Chain A
Amino acid sequence: MANETKYWKGIAQLNDEKFVEKHQSEFAEYIPVEEFIGDSAKMESSSTNRRDFLKFLGFSTVAATLAACETPVMKTMPYVQRPEEIIPGVANWYASTFFDGHDYASVLVKTREGRPIKIEANPLSKITGDGKRGGLNARVQSSVLSLYDSTRLQGAKMKNGSAWVSKSWQDADAALGPKFAQSKGIAIISSTIASPSTKAAIAEFAAKYKNVRHVTYDAISYSGILKANNSTFGSAFIPTYNFDKADVIVSLGCDFLVNWLSPVEHARQYGLTRKVGTDKKAMSKHYQFESILSVTGSNADERFPVKPSQLGAVALGILSGLGGSASASAAVMTKEVGKVVDALKNAKGKALVVSGSNDPAIQVVVNEINRTLGSYGTTINTDIKDLTHQGDDSAFKKAVDDFGTAIDTVIFYNTNPVYSAPGALKFADAMKKLSLRVSFASHTDETASACDWILPDHHYLEAWNDYYPRTRQFSLQQPAIRPLFDTRHAQESFLTWAGNNSDYHSYIQKMWKMNAPVMDFTSYWNNSVRDGVVDMPMAVVVDKQDANPKPAAKPAADSTANVNAQTPPPNAMLDAVAFTGGTLSLSDAASQINAIKGGTYELSIYQKTSMGSGNQSQNPWLQEMPDPITKITWDNYVTMNPSDVQALKLFGVEDDILVRFDELEDALDIVEVTANGVKTKLPVWFQPGQTKGTIGIAVGYGRTGFNEVIDAVGKNIYPSVGWNEAGGTMEYNVYNVSVAATGDEQHEIASTQVHGTIMGRNEDLLRETTLTNYSKDERAGNPKPTMETYAGEKDVEDVNLWNSFERPNHKWALAIDLNSCIGCGACVVSCNAENNVAVVGKDQVRRSREMHWIRIDRYYSSDTVKEVEEDKGDMGTKEMYRKMESPTFDNPKVVFQPLMCQHCNHAPCETVCPVLATNHSSEGLNQMVYNRCVGTRYCANNCPFKVRRFNWFNYVEYDKFKDINPAQDLLGRMVLNPDVVVRSRGVMEKCSMCVQRIQAGKLDAKKASRRPIDGEIQTACSQSCPTNAIIFGDLNDDKSEVSAWYNSGRKFEMLEELGVRPSVFYLTKVWNREDENAHV
């Protein structure tokens, strides 16, 4: 049945025959011969004829051959004194912590000869792991590349007129100390500080100077939740969520899998509830109300598009359905809400409702819903608080209002409000009222360039720090490399100005020693640094927090900053105090929500999975990572429902929206969006699944202060963020915006969504079923493909041109669970880092030349299949097929499918290679030998999965890629993995199933005289997957996890009927809903 479903990646693919024809072959794009050769007129007039050309060719071949006859003398320079822990050629791992004020992760840093080259999750941390394995998101994976960013500031700088002058740190301290002393009032504006020692250092600074105010400002704010909890529980805190304990998950515009609060943690928990197998036939039911098609929404079992202004009303609807006292003035989506309410009622104590809104009113309602459902103490943990988001919007606004009066000096620490503050606050103008502005930024970014001093902080891989991300959970950050530039811990700056000359490392140690729960501090400290994380019994934590000096001049209103100092309320008290101590009662919240009026067009300002809040906009890995939904790289844009595109008469579309979609791949019309008085011009991307009347724009783009390439990418939408007067928070939904076509303006985008179109394109790529069917039959939706032969119908496994090969030792395989894959793209970046995959830039991506070895195909599919329509029998065959092929623009079903080289055991690529550069190993790997490859590209053309990548240029040396390719400068080159060859121009490359890791793992086993332990060897993609959706192992090992999946009923191979016998196999997607094809 599932085989009849039509899948498509892009709308063009579905509708345009020209497109299909064009994409039959691997390298379908036009060959830009003239661009290479240059001016064609000049070429034609030149007198070089064919014979001359051949002479030149012959001469250069001979010259090159002769020149290659001598290998140059190579030098080698060992250490004078080898550091004790370094053995050249062997990686060292250090536990550390990543926190940029937005994403928090406990990490392991892999270093080779002292250079950090890869970030992995620390499995010991409860946030990134479960004790055995962990996962990370793309942003944290990419952070290692930001270390080697040559645009980072290399020392302290002072503004002299309009020019920047380099200053020594002594000069900076000498100049700034007296200025701080004379200041009327100093504000330290920072993103959330989760470090007790940093807070102590700031407190020392605050004690030394008068009127010091510490303001916590997060670009992506969770103030709404803090305020709502302050209303509900009398204490401003963010709880932790247990998605793994929830049977019913309802999300109101909350992208909790990739962006909200602690996405990696949520994804891991969610993954657990989505795994089904022989011994577990239950999974969570996930409902999503949302405006844009988010990664979380595309994973939902049932997804309901609503406009941003309706989200509050939906919350009220659910609450009143559950018997709550408040209700919406105008009920919306009553049928859908009713369905959700029924599900919730049946799952009391095992349900979880979350909202991504920053409006305290909505969050108060959501709190009440969760209280009614008994979620507190079960799916929501209020004992363990999330302390990584403490931004206080009203305190920030108050500080900005005080600029020039109570505050004349501002120190910016890890924050960039000129770029990210709502336009209504007029932050850039307010800054001009200050007499002294100091920034710890690592780049001359938007805020730093408006400052008087920039005192660059270390990169996190160069610095010490400690963190207190969750109640009773500490973690440490240790440097993995000596600072590359003349930078200084920001904390050391605070301490120096406070008259404390301690270095920050000893300062942290002193703080920890003061609060250490044990007598033997040295071993306690060493163990803590080794593990990276420390969990503590509750009593100790309270003591420790009390022992910390607190910022002296903190206004009482900034309660959130003191959250971690408060004793968490015991569970029993929660129900007792519910809805009493708040400042915003439920009825007020309801009336605030009811006052929200929607417009014709509404704007949802969202975060992309790759870019997040924009802290790492300069990172080429993130820029080139395709967005999970739109598959666009190197840009932001306006997402719009195709019918809205039609209504605006964009792209010259009148009646048939689909006519010109093929051309749309090349250039998009630009619209001007006016939101909160800020005009932004951006290209329009037609997004199926987007709520009609809603547009979405991602933050994190439109930067300045990096390099030409990065600065040219996208537009900044932060100024359109609104200010919610009633809630005192920043509002990321704009309820009334105008959208206007700009005429002929167009913008070229680089989308990978239809690159590498697979043979058999929209059939039998995926196998799906529903939970109900699956629990009856393990092979539901997954019939064995058969084939007509002269001897009758046979299983494709039995019909084969080739003999089978022996795999006597190992048989490596990858299992990919489509059910727990959320499409987040962490594997893509992890693979980039591990395998030295080149960044090629927007222009090359536009030519289908991205080099990613693993891609995540995102398929939409229609909401009906042949059987269903045949059963109905209310239309003719022709109409039926048309309906089957017509896309559901309003709410398509979405499936993600990670695709790398399938390592076919009967590989079509191998038979066509004229030089045997690709062939098979006895362990089931399809080997690619770069030094033998002559670049015919036959293999890529013959690959049914289109996973081979050709090096059109020498990306690591050609100047053209200077600003995007990290391996271009000597500093960026330090991130390369020395165990993997950097490929040159003219060779084919592809996924090697991380053969370098396999070989290393086998060697370890041989040295220890044993077989490799299952799970010991991990590919880069499987290691970093937050949901454990990619499982690597040995099929010859009966007890391995991958063998168990191989023998399960959910196993299928892509394009199984071809008989290529891949080593990569997939597990069917199981939906927890009635009809697997209908998304609603």
Chain B
Amino acid sequence: MKSHQWQNAQSRRFVVLFTLAISLFFSISAFAAPDGKALFKSKCGSCHYTNDQVLTGPGLQGVLGRVPSPEWARAWVHDNNKLRASGDAYAASIFAKFGGKTMTVFGTDLTDEEIDAILAYADKGGDPKPTGQNLATATTTAATDNSGDNLFIIVIILVVLIGIIAILRYTKINLRNALAEKEGRAEEPALPFLEASKDWMNNNKRKVALMGFLLFCCLIVKGWYALKGIGVYAEEVHPDEWVGYHPSQPINFSHKIHAGDVANGGNGIQCQYCHSGVDHSKTAGIPPVMVCMNCHKVISQNQAGTDESKTEIAKIYYATGWDPVTKTFSLPQHPVQWNKVHVLPDHVFFSHQQHVVVGKQQCETCHGDVKSMTTVEQQRPLTMGWCINCHRTTPVAMDGNGYYTALHEKMKEKYKDQTITVSMVGGIECSRCHY
């Protein structure tokens, strides 16, 4: 499936309207009865899953079968401390089983009907939730591909035009026949459509030639751009404004939140903190998911601001095998399969350390303003032409590097006042990147 996400404004508007309509429909239905799902998410989801897995508290799948009675459940949710104090044996056992942690006291925040709705929703296991099990198979979400729509419109226009031609032709033939009848001539048999077209073309050779030539030019131009775009996943829509490949990821990790400027609500984490290979290796490296745990042991789901972040943090826990109840890495680990965004072909050798450490390049040069991206997007074409152009214009970071001292002197002699670019020291030779 095509994973580009070029959207035109029109269809975006349509999607928004459609979504609004759907939500409206659901909101209206929400007035009719307590919405177990919505309530669960807002009140319970931070500590409970709707499956059988333990978060802070037990997973609530099949809860109605476990508790002594619905009344007991209501009493527990209203005030579990009171229930335990009353000497209820099951309440005490639950308390002990989950490490002596007190559940939030909801008191009168929830009515009995609401509690029933929540439990009914959770009991059946909720909706199939992405608690992580789908991680390994998570694929790029389908983005609406609008190139098909354009084609559709063109086809409709063509059909309409052909229709008009057909109607006009029919009218013309009829008129001619009517005229012939009127003038008492015999009806001319109408030529079949194709022959008529041929006739017309024979009579209008110059027009045909002109049209053919224009069509040919269009095809050449279109074809040239199509060829240039093969395998290139970014497009410069305006000068310095790129739109490119941005597949969805198994964990909706937002660089904007993590690496974004503090002033813009981000956390200002340095790129190298996670992509630590950049100084030492040819690959910057996608960080091991354990690196997330350096912070997310502390910034747990309970601290997460939104439902979405809770879900995403749960995915980290699932991947690392972290048990939030016991606070240990005691569960099985599940590696995360990311969708690679910046892809170079196999026959290209690219070294991050060469560019970052020796060449003193900024990450943004090739990766764009990742700090402001919610989903990572390829914002540079990463084609050979693009690389070469950069090598032709970028000066070599020679200052203070002992490797270049002698070479620098030689180059200064040869190139006088010119800036010494990467290409002047052999930076566009084949075997620098291909071997």
Binding site for B on A (CB under 8 A): 68-71, 73-82, 87-90, 808-809, 919, 921-923, 925, 927, 929-932, 979-981, 992, 995-996, 999, 1002-1003, 1005-1011
Q: Does B353 lie within 8 Å of A1003, measured CB to CB?
A: yes
B346 within 8 A of A: yes
Q: Does A809 lie within 8 Å of B407, measured CB to CB?
A: yes
Who on chain B is nearest to A68 by CB? Answer: B230
A992 to B429, CA, bound (A): 14
Could you say which residues of chain A place their CB within 8 Å of the CB of B282? 89
Could you say which residues of chain A place their CB within 8 Å of the CB of B321? 80
Q: Does A808 lie within 8 Å of B429, measured CB to CB?
A: no
7 contacts between A and B (CB under 8 A): A71-B233, A73-B140, A75-B340, A77-B338, A78-B338, A931-B347, A999-B435
A808 to B427, CA, bound (A): 13
Q: How far is the CB of B392 from chain A (nearest CB, A)?
A: 15
A81 to B316, CA, bound (A): 12
Q: Does B337 lie within 8 Å of A75, measured CB to CB?
A: yes
Who on chain A is nearest to B233 by CB? Answer: A71
Could you say which residues of chain A place their CB within 8 Å of the CB of B353? 1003, 1007
Q: For chain B residues 262-293, which have a beta carbon within 8 Å of chain A?
A: 276-277, 280-283, 285-290
Could you say which residues of chain A place their CB within 8 Å of the CB of B319? 80
Q: A929-B434, A1005-B403 are in contact. Are A82 and B290 (CB under 8 A)?
A: yes
| Interface SS of chain B | loop
From B139, B340, B410, contact of A808 by CB (8 A): B410
Q: Does B429 lie within 8 Å of A922, measured CB to CB?
A: yes
A742 to B354, CA, bound (A): 65
Could you say which residues of chain B place their CB within 8 Å of the CB of A1010? 402-403
Q: Does B432 lie within 8 Å of A999, measured CB to CB?
A: yes
Q: Does B346 lie within 8 Å of A981, measured CB to CB?
A: yes
Q: Does B289 lie within 8 Å of A78, measured CB to CB?
A: yes
Q: Does B430 lie within 8 Å of A921, measured CB to CB?
A: yes
A82 to B285, CA, bound (A): 11
Q: Does A1011 lie within 8 Å of B403, measured CB to CB?
A: yes
Could you say which residues of chain A place their CB within 8 Å of the CB of B18? none
Q: Does A76 lie within 8 Å of B403, measured CB to CB?
A: no
From B357, B407, B434, contact of A930 by CB (8 A): B434
**Interface code B232-269, partner A: CB below 8 Å = 1, 0 otherwise?**
01000000000000010000000000000000000000
**Interface code B310-321, partner A: CB below 8 Å = 1, 0 otherwise?**
000000000111
Q: Does B435 lie within 8 Å of A995, measured CB to CB?
A: yes
A932 to B348, CA, bound (A): 12
What is the count of residue pairs linking A and B with beta-carbon distances less than 8 angstroms? Answer: 148
B66 within 8 A of A: no
**Interface code B216-242, partner A: CB below 8 Å = 1, 0 otherwise?**
000000000000001101000000000
Could you say which residues of chain B place their CB within 8 Å of the CB of A71? 231, 233, 343
Q: Does B434 lie within 8 Å of A923, measured CB to CB?
A: no
Q: Does B400 lie within 8 Å of A808, measured CB to CB?
A: no
A452 to B277, CA, bound (A): 51
B367 within 8 A of A: no
Q: A71-B233, A1009-B401 are in contact. Are A81 and B429 (CB under 8 A)?
A: no
Minimum-distance CB pairs A-B, first 8: A89-B281, A927-B431, A1009-B402, A74-B340, A89-B283, A922-B426, A82-B288, A81-B290
Could you say which residues of chain A place their CB within 8 Å of the CB of B83? none
A1003 to B281, CA, bound (A): 10
Q: A69-B230, A81-B320 are in contact. Are A930 and B288 (CB under 8 A)?
A: no
Q: How far is the CB of B411 from chain A (nearest CB, A)?
A: 7
B358 within 8 A of A: yes
A88 to B321, CA, bound (A): 22
A69 to B232, CA, bound (A): 9
A704 to B394, CA, bound (A): 61
Who on chain B is nearest to A1003 by CB? Answer: B354
Q: Does A79 lie within 8 Å of B335, measured CB to CB?
A: yes
B336 within 8 A of A: yes
Could you say which residues of chain B place their CB within 8 Å of the CB of A981? 346-347, 434-435
Q: Does B277 lie within 8 Å of A923, measured CB to CB?
A: no
B334 within 8 A of A: yes
Q: Does A927 lie within 8 Å of B429, measured CB to CB?
A: yes
Q: Does A77 lie within 8 Å of B349, measured CB to CB?
A: no
Q: A76-B286, A980-B435, A1009-B403 are in contact. Are A921 and B339 (CB under 8 A)?
A: no
Who on chain A is nearest to B434 by CB? Answer: A929
B177 within 8 A of A: no
Q: Does B400 lie within 8 Å of A1009, measured CB to CB?
A: yes
Q: How far is the CB of A984 from chain B (nearest CB, A)?
A: 9
Q: Does A809 lie within 8 Å of B426, measured CB to CB?
A: yes
Q: How far is the CB of A1064 from chain B (nearest CB, A)?
A: 16
Q: How far is the CB of B18 from chain A (nearest CB, A)?
A: 27
A897 to B361, CA, bound (A): 46
Q: A73-B139, A82-B288, A88-B277 are in contact. Are A992 and B358 (CB under 8 A)?
A: no
Q: How far is the CB of A188 from chain B (nearest CB, A)?
A: 42
Q: Does B402 lie within 8 Å of A75, measured CB to CB?
A: no
A468 to B260, CA, bound (A): 59
Who on chain A is nearest to B136 by CB? Answer: A77
From B288, B401, B403, contact of A78 by CB (8 A): B288
Q: How far is the CB of B229 from chain A (nearest CB, A)?
A: 8
Who on chain B is nearest to A1002 by CB? Answer: B403
Q: Does B426 lie within 8 Å of A921, measured CB to CB?
A: yes
Q: How far is the CB of B74 from chain A (nearest CB, A)?
A: 42
Q: Does B411 lie within 8 Å of A808, measured CB to CB?
A: yes
Beyond the given pairs A921-B426, A921-B429, A925-B431, 13 more chain A to chain B contacts, judged by CB atoms under 8 angstroms and listed by A's residue number, are A70-B2, A71-B343, A73-B340, A74-B340, A80-B321, A80-B333, A81-B288, A87-B285, A88-B285, A89-B282, A921-B430, A981-B347, A1007-B353
Q: For chain B residues 364-417, which have a beta carbon within 8 Å of chain A?
A: 400-404, 406-407, 410-411, 414
A1011 to B338, CA, bound (A): 39
Q: How far is the CB of B207 from chain A (nearest CB, A)?
A: 31
Q: How far is the CB of B398 from chain A (nearest CB, A)?
A: 10
Could you say which residues of chain B place their CB within 8 Å of the CB of A80? 288-290, 319-321, 333-336
Q: A809-B407, A979-B349 are in contact. Are A74 and B335 (CB under 8 A)?
A: no
Q: Does B347 lie within 8 Å of A73, measured CB to CB?
A: no
B3 within 8 A of A: yes
Q: How far is the CB of B127 from chain A (nearest CB, A)?
A: 26
Q: How far is the CB of B260 from chain A (nearest CB, A)?
A: 22
Who on chain B is nearest to A91 by CB? Answer: B281
Q: How far is the CB of B337 from chain A (nearest CB, A)?
A: 5
Could you say which residues of chain A place their CB within 8 Å of the CB of B343? 71, 74
B144 within 8 A of A: no
A442 to B346, CA, bound (A): 35
From A68, A89, A1006, contact of B403 by CB (8 A): A1006
Q: How far is the CB of B258 from chain A (nearest CB, A)?
A: 16
Give the most central of A68, A1007, A1008: most B CB within 10 Å: A1007
Q: How far is the CB of B41 from chain A (nearest CB, A)?
A: 28
Q: Does A78 lie within 8 Å of B358, measured CB to CB?
A: no
Could you say which residues of chain B place their CB within 8 Å of the CB of A1006? 354, 358, 401, 403-404
Could you say which residues of chain B place their CB within 8 Å of the CB of A992? 431, 435
A1003 to B353, CA, bound (A): 8
B157 within 8 A of A: no
Give the most central of B233, B321, B345, B426: most A CB within 10 Å: B426
Could you say which residues of chain A place their CB within 8 Å of the CB of B400? 1009
Could you say which residues of chain A place their CB within 8 Å of the CB of B287? 78
From B139, B289, B407, B434, contact of A931 by CB (8 A): B434
Q: A68-B230, A74-B343 are in contact. Are A90 and B290 (CB under 8 A)?
A: no
Who on chain A is nearest to B384 by CB? Answer: A931
A301 to B330, CA, bound (A): 70
Give the most central of B140, B247, B282, B340: most A CB within 10 Å: B282
Who on chain A is nearest to B320 by CB? Answer: A80
Could you say which residues of chain B place their CB within 8 Å of the CB of A996? 349, 435
Q: Does B426 lie within 8 Å of A923, measured CB to CB?
A: yes
B351 within 8 A of A: yes
Could you say which residues of chain B place their CB within 8 Å of the CB of A925? 431
Who on chain A is nearest to B329 by CB? Answer: A81
B425 within 8 A of A: yes
Could you say which residues of chain B place their CB within 8 Å of the CB of A919? 430
Q: A981-B346, A999-B432 are in contact. Are A808 and B407 (CB under 8 A)?
A: yes
